[in-house]
Amino acid sequence: MTVNENKSANMILLVEDEANIAKLFMFNLGKAGFNCEHAINGKEGLEKAHQLKPDLIISDIMMPEMDGLEFRKQLLLDAELKAIPFVFLTAKGSEDDVLQGFELEVEDYLIKTSSPKIVIAKVSAILKSLEKERVKVVDEVQKAADTMGAKVVPDEAPSFEGFKIKHWHLPFKNVPGGDFIDYFKIDDDNLVIVFGDVMGKRWGAWYFAVAYAGYVRSATRFVLELAGGFSPSEILHKVNESVYKDERISEVFITLSVITLNRKDRVAKYSGAGDLPIIYKSDKTEYINSKGLLLGFSKSGEYEDHEIKLSSGDEIFLVTDGITESRNKSGELYGQENLLDLINRLNPNEDSIEQIQKEIFDYTGGELEDDVSIISVKVL
- Tell me the pLDDT tens digit for each residue of 158-169: 999 999 999 999
Cβ-contact 215, 209 below 8 angstroms: no
Q: What is the pLDDT of residue 100?
A: 65
Q: What CATH number is given to the structural domain containing 182?
A: 3.60.40.10
Q: What is the pLDDT of residue 228?
A: 62
Total of domains in the chain? 2
Q: 198 and 328, same structural domain?
A: yes
- Tell me the pLDDT tens digit for each residue of 101-145: 667 778 788 887 778 788 888 888 888 877 776 666 556 555 655
CB-based burial label for 279 (10 Å; 0-12, 13-18, 19+) = buried
Q: 92 and 190, same structural domain?
A: no
Q: 359 and 286, same structural domain?
A: yes
Q: From CA 380, how far away is CA 377, in angstroms rounded?
A: 10
Cβ-contact 239, 220 below 8 angstroms: yes
Q: 197 and 299, same structural domain?
A: yes
Q: 179 and 102, same structural domain?
A: no
Q: What CATH number is given to the structural domain containing 57?
A: 3.40.50.2300
Q: 114 and 59, same structural domain?
A: yes
- Tell me the pLDDT tens digit for each residue of 194-209: 998 886 544 444 555 6
Residue 314 clears pLDDT 90, i.e. is over it: yes
Cβ-contact 69, 89 below 8 angstroms: no
Query: What is the span of the domain harbouring residue 54?
Result: 3-144
Last residue of a domain, one of 110, 144, 178: 144
Q: What is the pLDDT of residue 358?
A: 95
3-state DSSP helix/strand/coil percent for the chain, to nearest 5?
40, 25, 35
- Tell me the pLDDT tens digit for each residue of 168-181: 998 876 665 678 89
Q: What is the pLDDT of residue 94?
A: 54
Residues 6+ apart with CB under 8 A from 187: none
Q: 165 and 112, same structural domain?
A: no
Q: 88 and 39, same structural domain?
A: yes
Q: 224 and 87, same structural domain?
A: no
- Tell me the pLDDT tens digit for each residue of 213-243: 777 778 888 888 776 667 899 999 988 888 8
Residue 35 φ then ψ, to 5°: -90, 125
Cβ-contact 213, 371 below 8 angstroms: no
Q: 319 and 193, same structural domain?
A: yes
Last residue of a domain, one of 144, 173, 201: 144
Q: 165 and 110, same structural domain?
A: no
